[in-house]
Each structure stands twice: as structure tokens, then as C-alpha cells.
Amino acid sequence: LAGTPLVIDNLTKAYPGGVTAVKNLSFRVEPGQVLGLLGPNGAGKTTTLRMMMGLISPTEGEIRVFGHRIRPGAPVLSRVGSFVEGSGFLPHLSGEQNLRLFWDATGRPADKAHFTEALEIAGLGDAVRRKVRTYSQGMRQRLAIAQAMLGLPELLVLDEPTNGLDPPQIHQMREVLQRYAATGRTVLVSSHLLAEVEQTCSHVVVMHRGQLVASGEVGEIVAAGGEATFRVDEP
Ligand code: ATP
């Protein structure tokens, strides 16, 4: 697997109208890490992930994914899978049928073993054969994760995948991410909850008002900064 999964170098995003959502942000994600991008609402996490996916362009700086510079409009690398909340499943089709439609639309060759492994990691069980309209919020969310995992991308990018979930569903989501990471692949997940990052991630980048305020191994960051490092919510 050539290249570092993700290198972010001096990234800045100023939106028209004056908000600088991300400012001089630099960090990297090494193979096999589960990196949590942690920060309160408005810290700039979504803006960072949207730049990574090539959906919006940075004002300054650059992003490299497996050595390839990300540019808006360029095709998203097949080595990256991303999760988009509520990604418009067809309710009258089964979960499995929805995923097959999605995969066919990517134009990439069908790989039955990969497909089956992604479904297993997502932990949907027999429910994949039920119609999506019967799914709970947690099931839909896991189906969306399964969709991001199809093809078993080497870098999986998830923007607040536990949003709107209850504690048991959050627990299941954590297990899904850990099973994925256990295959040796790399995960980047954003969250505004320290506890979630502590339980799920190996590494963390803490953002506040668009800037990096701490980064490193989760255990080290907690030990070094204690609670104070994470007391980044607005007063
Ligand atoms: P959340 O968890 O609420 O999504 P976040 O950490 O993902 O928070 P962003 O959504 O990246 O933060 O937002 C960072 C800042 O940029 C906020 O002040 C937000 O209001 C602003 N912002 C986001 N999108 C736009 C936009 N399209 N135009 C102008 N400002 C924006």
C-alpha cells in the first residue's frame, strides 16, 4: 500500500462572507490508525472533511491522500470510502439491493468476497434482506457505513457517524469501526464527544475554532492535558 493515507499541510478555508472555518491546519494519519477529529460544533471538522473529499477547495494549503493531491472535481480515489449521513436509500428496496445499486453505479468490478466482508463488518445480519423502510435510525446509519465500506477502502472517512443514535446504537457503531480497523485499514472519524473518541480511536486531533490545539495518541493526550485539553466548548 503505497503512500501515507492522509497528509494535511497548512490547510486554510475562508468562506466567502468572512468565516475562516479552518486555519493553518496540519496533521497526518498513518496506516492502521483510527484517528478521531475531535472538536465542538463549529470547530471546522466538516469543512476539513469536505475539503478531503474534494467537495470544496481550500483557500490555502494542500491535502494528499496516498500521495495524490486532492482537487475539487477530480474523481474521488477508489481507495477512499466516505460516509454521508442519510444517503438517500430507496425505502422499498432491501438494504442489500440498495448497496448493489450503489456499487453498480460506481462502475467498479463486483467483488463478492469484498461485498460480503463489508456487510459482515457492518453487522447488519439478516436485516440486509429487509426493506429499508423497516429500518431503525441506527440500522440506516449502519447501512450508510456499510456503503462507505464497500470495496474495503484503505481509508474510511466518517463525519459524525453516531449523530442521532442512542447509546446501544453508538456502542454497535463503535464495534463496527473497530472491526474495520482490525483488518489493518485506516479510519478517520469526526466527533464532538471526547468519551467516544477515547473509546474508539487510537489517535486524536483536537480542533477548536478551525485550529489544531492538540494531537497524538489518545492515551497520551488525555494523560498530558487531562480534561483541560478538551474543555474547548464555547463559554
Ligand atoms: P458541526 O459539528 O456543527 O458540523 P464542524 O466542526 O463540522 O461543526 P463546520 O461545519 O466545518 O464545523 O463549520 C465551521 C465554521 O464555518 C462555522 O462557523 C460555520 O458556521 C462556518 N461554515 C460552515 N459552512 C459554511 C458555508 N458554506 N459558508 C459560510 N460559513 C460556513
Atom of ligand 1 nearest to the CA of 56: 27
Instruction: Give distance in angstroms: CA of 184 to centre of ligand 1.
Output: 32
* pLDDT tens digits for range 1-46: 468 999 999 999 999 998 999 999 999 999 999 999 999 989 999 9
- Indicate yes or no: pTM above 0.90: no
Cβ-proximal residues to 90 (8 Å cutoff; 6+ apart), any chain: 97, 98, 101, 132
What is the per-residue pLDDT across 150-197, written as a single tens digit (0 to 9) for each?
888 889 999 888 887 888 888 888 889 988 988 889 999 999 888 889
Atom index in ligand 1 nearest the CA of residue 160 equals 2
Distance CA 205, CA 43 (A): 12
| Dist. CA 56 → ligand 1 center (Å) | 12
Q: Is 85 in the pocket of ligand 1 (CB under 6 A)?
A: no
DSSP 164-219: T--HHHHHHHHHHHHHHHHTT-EEEEEES-HHHHHHH-SEEEEEETTEEEEEEEHH
Residue pair 43/210 in contact by the 8 Å Cβ criterion = yes
Helices H / strands E in the chain, number of each: 7, 10
Burial class (CB in 10 A: 0-12, 13-18, 19+), 149: buried
Pick from 37, 38, 45, 50 the residue to mutate for probing ligand 1's pocket: most ligand atoms within 8 Å of its CB.
45
How far is the centre of ligand 1, averaged over its atoms, from the C-alpha of 137 (Å)? 24
Instruction: Measure 44 CA to ligand 1 centroid, in angstroms.
Output: 6
For 17, residues 6+ apart whose C-beta sits below 8 A from its C-beta are none
Residue position matching grid coordinates 460516509: 83
